[in-house]
Structure 1
């Protein structure tokens, strides 16, 4: 969805700036890549990146029509507020894409702040194997078993995480 939004802006001759989390170093090519093969270059943010300063510096060189952020759950509280300032004071729309909760059902800190202050929230639907809306992300081990403890952030692809409805997520953790 992020890449589609970026395409829509660029198709109309509008400049965008793409961001993704520096901690996701899986990509050998472009830092933002979709499961269907689309990809794009992006700046990488870490805990030290000052979003307001970097984006506004670029905006003064070439006016930006939109900032798009992938893996926004990894933004810090300060960075989320800097993004809000880009919208409110800089006049630049900021579209954030990311997960709401981790593999234990806990909010990511960046997601918690975004949920609290975002102008609008649009939930993208994922589907559980039962056909219900998948709102949880189960981390699985090499044998497909549920991982119940560990660090909040472990980068992995489709084979490391499974999107499930709350019922099947809970069953997997308790099973």
Structure 2
């Protein structure tokens, strides 16, 4: 029976690299995968899924906006798996459509769980509510050896000193990965 998976991790935990490796392994076995990404992620081009860790990318088969809910239009014949990158940017409507699609084919979503304010993203929240399988892709804190659970955002002052931001607008600065570091709760809250 197909399932809906949510594989989440903090920044720099190789989520997209994992997605690309899963896609590569399926294709190595001559099995068809559908690569999906939200339209909001334009860092490397409208339809490119790229891993900073691997330095490579592939073209997405389907780029969806917040209103996409046409899971019934996805041809699942001969489709082995659906892989979704940047799942935190999905809307609740998108996740519900993927939930329905997972009745016919496995759907694996990769993304962040929370923003730098430790608030759930809309897509992540819905995935945590309805996914059959929830898996954490672990990473370590940049300051110590504890498990990172926070996507800490830094403001860099004129004197180059980094200040942790704990409040402000909820949106992620796409393409500004250098502003974010994975941290444990202890280091984040100091």
Structure 1 portions without partners, runs of 5+:
none
Which segment is superposed worse, 107-116 or 21-30? 21-30
Q: Which structure is higher in helix share?
A: 1
Larger RCO (CA under 8 A, 6+ residues apart): 2
Q: Which runs of 4+ in 1 moved over 6 A?
A: none
Contact conserved, 1:138 with 1:164, CA < 8 A, in 2?
A: yes
Whether 1:83 and 2:98 are equivalent positions in the alignment is: yes
> Between Structure 1 and Structure 2, which shows a larger proportion of strand residues?
2
Query: Is the Cα contact below 8 Å between 2:87 and 2:112 reproduced in 1?
Result: yes
Figure out how many residues of one structure are paired with residues of the other and give that number.
Answer: 165
1:169, distance to aligned residue in structure 2 (A): 1.5
1:169/1:141 Cα in 2 relative to 1: closer, same or farther (>3 Å)?
same
Matched residue, 2:163: 145
DSSP 3-state at the match of 1:122 = strand
1:136 and 2:150 aligned: yes
Residue 71 of structure 1 is aligned with which of 82, 86, 97?
A: 86
TM-score (norm 2): 0.80
1:87-124, CA deviations, whole angstroms, 9 ceiling, x for partnerless residues? Answer: 12xx1100000011111001111111111211111100
2:8 corresponds in structure 1 to none
Question: Which deviates more, 126-135 or 154-163?
Answer: 154-163
Q: Hey, what's the Cα distance between the residues in 2 that align with 1:29 and 1:124? A: 26
In 1: Cα distance, 2:47 partner to 2:91 partner:
23
User: Where does structure 2 lack aligned partners over 5 or more consecutive residues?
Assistant: 1-17
Distance 2:25 2:184 in 1: 31
Q: CA 1:49–1:122 in 2, change beyond 3 Å: closer, same or farther?
A: same
Distance 1:75 1:28 in 2: 18
Taking structure 1 as the reference length, the TM-score comes to 0.86
Partner of 1:20, secondary structure, is strand
RMSD: 1.8
Residue number in structure 2 paired with 1:98: 111
